[in-house]
């Protein structure tokens, strides 16, 4: 489908309709930017986690042993190659046991994914006073750390399962 001739108001309407359909299919939980919701869905499916209620402070999902997971996603595009995750607030409060990071390609396919133990997050991030949060960049070197678990294949399998509809 060539959408280059579609007028801008219709493109926004289509975008809204797409978000609503993705929400109905359970791939996202809100109609905001879908990157975060989609990462949460894929990681929770890949690791058999239960998603926490929306807006839960400090974590997004829990496993059967009660461990908590903060899940962050980043879509890397040809215009913005940044791998910076959204801000992690209150890192010192230990709200989560693991940080799950998912990098998406421009078309939302999974590029890479990892699990970082809470105790290791500080070495990949820097506290930024002006945002009162820790900022983490998922550089390739993150996967070289022995404490980091590469969950890329599990998240790709979850994506194949979740998008088969």
Q: How does pLDDT run along the chain (165 residues), one tens digit per residue?
A: 789 999 999 999 999 999 999 999 999 999 888 999 999 999 999 999 999 998 899 999 999 999 999 999 999 999 999 999 999 999 999 999 999 999 999 999 999 999 999 999 999 999 999 999 999 999 999 999 999 999 999 999 999 999 886
Residue length, the chain?
165
- CATH for 33-162? 3.40.210
Task: Give me the residue spans of the domains in the chain.
Answer: 33-162
Q: Exposed e or buried b for every residue in 84-121, given b needs 16+ CB within 10 A? A: ebeebeebeeebbbbbbbbbbeeeeebbbbbbbebebb
């Amino acid at each position: 489908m060539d959408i280059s001739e579609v007028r801008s108001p219709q493109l926004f309407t289509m975008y809204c309709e797409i978000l609503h359909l993705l929400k109905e299919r359970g791939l996202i939980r809100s109609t905001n930017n879908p990157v975060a919701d989609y990462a949460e869905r894929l990681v929770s499916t890949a690791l058999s986690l239960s998603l926490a209620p929306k807006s839960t402070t400090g974590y997004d999902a829990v496993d059967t042993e009660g461990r908590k997971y903060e899940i962050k996603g980043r879509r890397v595009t040809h215009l913005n190659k940044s791998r910076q995750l959204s801000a992690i607030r209150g890192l010192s409060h230990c709200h989560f046991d693991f940080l799950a990071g998912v990098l998406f390609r421009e078309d939302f396919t999974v590029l890479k994914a990892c699990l970082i133990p809470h105790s290791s997050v500080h070495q990949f991030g820097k506290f930024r006073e002006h945002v009162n949060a820790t900022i983490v960049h998922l550089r390739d070197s993150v996967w070289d750390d022995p404490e980091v678990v590469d969950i890329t294949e599990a998240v790709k399998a979850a994506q194949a399962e979740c998008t088969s509809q």
